[in-house]
Structure formats: C-alpha cells, structure tokens
Amino acid sequence: MTTDADPVWSAWPGERFELGEGLRYWQHRLLFVDILSGRLFELPDDADHAPRMVAELPEPLGAVAPLAGGGWIAAAGTGVGVLGDDGRLRWIARPEEGAAFRMRMNDAVADPHGRFWAGSMAYDGAPGAGSLYRLDADGSLHRALEGLTVPNGPAFSADGATMYLADSARGVIHRYAVDEDTGELGGPTEFATLSSGSPDGMTVDAEGFLWSAVWGAGRVCRFAPDGTLDRVVPVPAVQPTSVCLTGDRLVVTSARIGLDDPGDSDGAVLSTPLDQLGVPACVATVAGG
C-alpha cells in the first residue's frame, strides 16, 4: 500500500457546496450534483472558471446518468425520472413516496448493460430504511436490495458482472455478482471495511481497481480487485464525496454540511494531476426515455 505524499490540489472557483456528489465523466464532460439544492453542474475544462449550472429541480437530486437518445436519467426526490435537456423532469416511478420515513434518493449510476441503479436513504439516517433500486430497459423499477442505511455507489466492473456498493453509515463496501441477462444480484460478500471514515462515491478504473472517496477522513482510497488497500491519496477536504478519473487527473467533490468550522476546500470540487485511466460513465437505455 502506498500513500501519496503532498499531492498538489486545485479547486474550481466560486461556490462551496453543501453536498456536492455524483461526479460523472462522459463525452469529455464532467458533471456533478449538489444534492440538497437539486442542482446539476458541469465543470469547465480548466479550474479558472466556476462550475456552470445545467439544471435545477425543486427537490433533491442524488445523481444522474446519461440517457441513450439524449438527456439524463435522474435519481431525485423520492424516485427516478428523465431529466430533459430543457431542465424538466418527467417521473418514471416514485417508490419512496409515502414511506414510513421521510426519504430521498442518494447516489446512482448506469451499468454497462444500460440499467440504472439508485439508492435511497432516510433524511435522518434511520438505520436500514434505505433500498437499492434497479431500472430496467423496459422502464420497470425493481427493489434490488433493502435494509440499507446510506447506500453509495454503486460501481461496476467493465463487463458489468460485478457490482460494488457502499453502505456508508456501516463503513463497509460489499461486492455482488450481477446476472448479465436479468440484473439479479447474488449474495453479498464483504469487499472492504474502513477503520475510520465512511466509504462514499466510488468508481472502477481501467485496471479493475476500485476507488472510493472516504467521508470524514479527508482521503481517497484505491482497492485492488481482491479488496486489498492499494493506495491512499490525501484530500484537503474533510468530507470527500465522489471521485472521477479523467486520464490525467483525479477529480473529487466534497461537502460542507455538518461542519462547524469548514475550511476553504470543504465543499469545493478539487483536482490533482494523476496518470490513471478511468472508465467513462455508462449510458442508461430505457424504453420511452
């Protein structure tokens, strides 16, 4: 295991976000969300200009994935919908509407087969209140897992046969086999458990290693396919939330929420030079999308 010594970070100027999350790299575009304000942003190529707002919803926006044919699939509010290029959201399903706890969607991603996976959580972090949902190509939504607290990710291997999912409040990343034809999940195996901080947003690089932002610990961790901790990159923000690899830099979102005395980098979108190929965001394929 190696720890990067004093990486040089730069921050995009402008706003510091309450809960920046959901970095996605697609067609040379870098996008992310500020969850609680319901906003989607695009990052400029350089760090001299502030992020540009792409859309704003009247409810939380957990994450988006590019949609075949244009627009985005969004995990928002209490469900999932299609976010058009005009910024309007058309609901597909709201599975958490009327739940026993006040719920919202959290992190979400498309897999290599075009399915969309989205986690939900209670606003108050009630243990076990969250679920993981799978949106299939025919537009049907299924509860794939339940009993989660704060689901983050998921992230997928290049062939889509393996899914990694963090239950952040419990400090653990699980690994699941994924049926290629149906999307059904096998039983969980414990991939990695953190002794400090919480695993948050994740991505798999071109070598099949898993990267995870570590909330509360100011670092990003890289894990080998067998779960061994391979690399630690210190981050100048206490609460890094998601991670993205562009091929020549590591980009990280962070959050200010809950900090009594946030520093200048808390809530910033940060980048540092890094020669590591990532994998572009997968595209969701949904009938009628």
User: pTM of the prediction?
Assistant: 0.96
Please state the rounded mean pLDDT for residues 198-224.
97
Please state the rounded mean pLDDT for residues 80-105.
94
Residues marked as binding? 21, 104, 106, 124, 152, 200
Domain assignment present for residue 286? The answer is no
Residue 245: the pLDDT is: 96
Domain assignment present for residue 172? The answer is yes
Give the domain CATH number at 174: 2.120.10.30
Of the two residues 2 and 61, the one the predictor is more confident about is 61
Query: What is the span of the domain harbouring residue 233?
Result: 2-273
Give the separation between CA 116 and CA 176, rounded to whole angstroms: 16
Give the separation between CA 129 and CA 102, rounded to whole angstroms: 10
Question: Which tens digit of pLDDT belongs to each residue from 186-207?
Answer: 999 999 999 899 999 999 999 9
Position 287 pLDDT exceeds 90: no
Domain assignment present for residue 43? The answer is yes
Residue 3: the pLDDT is: 80
Question: Which tens digit of pLDDT belongs to each residue from 36-66?
Answer: 999 999 999 877 899 999 999 999 999 999 9
Position 289 pLDDT exceeds 80: no
Count: domains in the chain: 1
Residue 1: the pLDDT is: 73
Mean pLDDT for all residues in the chain = 95
Domain assignment present for residue 282? The answer is no
184, two tokens: 């059904």
Question: Which tens digit of pLDDT belongs to each residue from 18-35?
Answer: 999 999 999 889 999 999
Domain assignment present for residue 285? The answer is no
Question: Which tens digit of pLDDT belongs to each residue from 168-186?
Answer: 999 999 999 999 999 999 9
Neighbours of 181 (CB within 10 A): 7
Domain assignment present for residue 288? The answer is no
Domain assignment present for residue 284? The answer is no
Please state the rounded mean pLDDT for residues 66-72.
93
State the pLDDT confidence band at 6, using cuts at 50, 70 and 90: confident
Domain assignment present for residue 289? The answer is no
Closest of 231, 200, 198, 203 to residue 216, by C-alpha: 198
State the pLDDT confidence band at 5, using cuts at 50, 70 and 90: confident
Distances (CA, A) of 150 to 123, 157, 172: 10, 22, 11
- Selecting among 111, 200, 260, 275, the annotated active-site residue is 200
Backbone phi and psi for residue 170, each to the nearest 5 degrees, phi listed first: -100, 0
Give the separation between CA 125 and CA 119, rounded to whole angstroms: 13
Of the two residues 1 and 226, the one the predictor is more confident about is 226
Residue 2: the pLDDT is: 86
Active site residue 275: no
164, two tokens: 């990694």
Residue 227: the pLDDT is: 96
Position 259 pLDDT exceeds 70: yes
Residue 48: the pLDDT is: 82
Determine the straight-line distance between the first and last CA of the chain, rounded to whole angstroms: 44
Give the separation between CA 266 and CA 185, rounded to whole angstroms: 36
Residues marked as binding for substrate? 104, 106, 124
DSSP class per residue in 43-72: E-SSTTS--EEEEE-SS-EEEEEEBTTSSE
Residues marked as binding for a divalent metal cation? 21, 152, 200
Give the separation between CA 148 and CA 131, rounded to whole angstroms: 6
